[in-house]
Structure 1
C-alpha cells in the first residue's frame, strides 16, 4: 500500500530529476518508468525508487541509450555492466569513425584536394591492418627491385613497418595518410628505387650492406649499448672498463675490414673520426625537431613510420645516447681525442 507522504507529484519529480513533465509522462506511457500511484484526483505520484529510476533513465538517455535497452535493464533482463559494455563498444566505433573522418578532412584542407582525392583519402584511412601491411610490403618489394642479390638487406628495409594503434591520435592518422599516399606514388617509388640501386648495387655500397657487414653491425650492438650505459653511469673513459670497450671496438673494426688498427696513429685517427658523430647526429635531431619535416623520400618515410608507431621520441633518445657513447669511446681510444669541454656524467642515483 502506498503512503502519500512518501510519494512525489510529477512537478517535484521533474525538479529532482531535471526531466521535463512531458518527458516523465512519455517514459510512463512508453512503459519505461510508470507512476507508483495516483492521487484521489487522478494525478500521477512517484516513489523515491521511481525517482531514482528516472534519474538513471536521464543519464542513460544522455548517453544515447535506446529505450528498449533501458526497459530490459529496469526489468532485470540485463545488467548495468552488460549495457555499459555494449554501449561503450558502439561509442568507440563511432569515435574511430569520427577520427578517420577528421583525418580525411584535415588532409583535404592541407592538400587542397580535389573531389577525386576524397575517395582515395577515405580509403587510405579506413584500410584494415592486413591491407596496410600488404601496401607497405608491396612498396618495398617494388623499390628493392635489383637488390635481390642481398636478401637480408632487402628484408631489413621493411624490418620496422608502421603499426597504426587501435586508438590512433590525429597526428598518427595524418602521418598514415601521408605515408600511404607517398608509397602509392609511382614517382616516389622510382626515386627511392634508383637511389637504392645507385648506392648499394655494386662497389663499396654493396659491401656495406652485404650479409657479412650486416651481421657485423649486429654483433657490434651489445658493445655500443655497454658504452651507452658506461657513459650514463659516469664511468671515466680511461677506466679499465673504458679501455676494455675501446679494445673490443678496435677488434670489431679490424674483423670487419680484415685489418689491424692497434697502432697509436690509427687509434688516434679512428678516435677523431668518432668525435664527428655526436655533433652531426645531435644537429640533425635538433633540426628535425625545430625545422620543417624531411623532404628526402627515405628520411620522410622513416619519420612517418615512427610517428605512426609512436616510437619517434624513444628512437631519437636512443640515437642521441648512441651519439654520446661514440664520443665516450673516442676518448677511451686515446686521450688526444678528448674534447676541450669533456666532462664525464655523474653516476645515476635511484
Structure 2
C-alpha cells in the first residue's frame, strides 16, 4: 500500500482515506497512532495525514496484531529490541496452549450436548475449570491425594503397593480430548477430593502394617474372579448350597475352618471397594488402557459366601 501520487510527488493520505484503503477502522488507526506505532503528521488544517512509510508501518502492525501479538510485543518488534522470529516462537507456544484449551472446551460442549435434561450448574463449572488445567496442575491434584493417603504407610504392606499405580496420569490430555476423557477427568477429580474416599483408600493402604497375618488369608484373585464372578453373574445366592460348591472350586478355601473363612472374608472386604475400582477405570480411560470388566462384585459375592458357608456346613449331613 502506498500513498497517492500527484505528478510523482507523494500525496499524504488522510485517516479516512487510509481506513478505506486498508480496511482498518479509523478509531484503530487513531489509537495506533496515539500509541506511537504508526507515525502521522498534521496537515495545515490540523488533520492527521499519513505518508507511504506510515502506510507500510500500518500494514506491519496490522499483520502482527492479527497474529495475536500484544501491543508491547509489536512495539518491541518495531523498535528492533526483539526479533520477529523470537516473538513468533513465544507466540506459537501461547497459541498451542490456547488451542489445547479450546479443544478441551469443545469436548466439554460436546459432552453437555449429549446430556439429557438440565445439567447441574456446579458440574458444568467444574467440568470447564478442570478441562483447562495444565498437565502439571492435574498431576499435582492426584499427587496430593496419593501423598495424603499413603503417608507413613509401610511399603511392604499389602495395600501400599498401589501408590505408584494411583499416580499414573497421562502427561497431557490428548490434544483433541474425547468427551469421555473429559468426563473421566472430572469424575476422577471429584473422587480424589471426597474425604470418605480418601479415608477408605487410607484404610486399604495401611492394612497389614499392624496385622501382617492378612497376607496369609488371601485367595487366588484369578480363581475368585472366574468362579465367584460366574456365580454372581448368574444370580447365585451366596448362602445357598450351590454357593458352597462354587467355594470348593477356589483353591485353598475348602480346607479352611469357620474362623479362617471369616478372617478371609474380612480381608476380601477390606480390599474390595467399587469406588477404588472406578478410580482405576477412570485412569484407564485417560491413559488409553484396555477396558476391563468390573471384578469387585465377584469379590463381594465371595466374601458373603465365605461368611455364609460355616453356618451352612453345620447343618449339612
Specify the TM-score bucket, using the shorter chain as the normaliser: 0.3 to 0.5
What is the TM-score when the length of structure 1 is the normalising length? 0.44
Q: Relative contact order, CA 8 A, sep 6+: which one is greater?
A: 1
Structure with greater proportional helix content = 1
What is the TM-score when the length of structure 2 is the normalising length? 0.48
